[in-house]
Amino acid sequence: MIIWTIAKNSWVDQLRNRFYYLIILFGGVLLYVSLLVGVLAVEQELRVLLDLGLALIELLTLIAAIFVTTTSILREMERKTIYLILTRPVSRLQYLLGRFFGLLISVACAMALMGLVHLSVLLAKGWKFDLFYPLVLFYSLLKVWLICSLSMLLALYASSTLTAMSITLILWLLGHFGHEIAFLVKKSAGIKAALLQTVSYIMPNMTLFNLREVWQHPDFVFSWSVFGASVAYALLYSSACLFLSQRLFNSKEL
């Protein structure tokens, strides 16, 4: 109940702040792009619109998620609004989980709304609905889930918004090079291999969630076991981040 109360508070606070602006911005960009691609990509209009739209949704949500997660708890500490919460019968774990799920719900809502705008434009242009569309969005959400938990941990560790944001962005980028790092591990030996192996374990493996890039490939086959493994990975990785965040947060003096 306490976790839900805090999550709802985060959600309402975010929705009244910058998320609507983000959606309006995205809607504007998307409509502008849809008009442009009609002129620039005569035969590939739908394909470009689909790919560009999905990439934009993921990117905008991700940037917003990193920004909001890294700033929210640190801002609460700075403004001391956290005092009014933690001086009640609320544990630090409950607070952390409440904030985390609240931010995640906000991000999921923003993503769903942006998806609806995108889908409306696609359908208006004559695209035939594919069930993989919501699944692609779900995979993007898993990426954001993972990044939210990682940026929360980094924000608590670094105690600086800019540092936490920069490191999260770097890890997010590196996370897309999972195959390349695995290749380098195979090609290396000794300490170098061990180091690269450690890095590959610590980094979030974003390649597991790249359905957006492969679902339209003619050879693509959907597998429930791969789906299950991806969800399990996201859950385990974010649980580990949240566990470490809680340890850090418990030791923090406010």
Contact set with another protein (CB under 8 A) = 1-2, 5-6, 9, 12-13, 16-17, 79-81, 83-90, 253-254
Least separation, in Å, of the C-beta of 145 and another protein?
A: 24
Least separation, in Å, of the C-beta of 89 and another protein?
A: 5
Least separation, in Å, of the C-beta of 13 and another protein?
A: 5
Q: Which is nearer to another protein, 179 or 252 (CB)?
A: 252
Q: Which is nearer to another protein, 1 or 162 (CB)?
A: 1
CA nearest to 168, candidates 95, 160, 21: 160
Q: Which is nearer to another protein, 2 or 182 (CB)?
A: 2
Q: Which is nearer to another protein, 159 or 198 (CB)?
A: 159
Least separation, in Å, of the C-beta of 98 and another protein?
A: 9
Least separation, in Å, of the C-beta of 65 and another protein?
A: 20
Least separation, in Å, of the C-beta of 1 and another protein?
A: 8
Q: Which is nearer to another protein, 87 or 225 (CB)?
A: 87
CA nearest to 144, candidates 19, 238, 17: 238
DSSP code string of the chain: -HHHHHHHHHHHHHHTTTHHHHHHHHHHHHHHHHHHHHHH-TTTHHHHHHHHHHHHHHHHHHHHHHHHHHHHHHHHHHHTHHHHHHTSS--HHHHHHHHHHHHHHHHHHHHHHHHHHHHHHHHHTTPPP-THHHHHHHHHHHHHHHHHHHHHHHHHHH--HHHHHHHHHHHHHHHTTHHHHHHHHHH--HHHHHHHHHHHHHS--GGGGTHHHHTTSTT----HHHHHHHHHHHHHHHHHHHHHHHHHHHH---
Q: Which is nearer to another protein, 87 or 223 (CB)?
A: 87
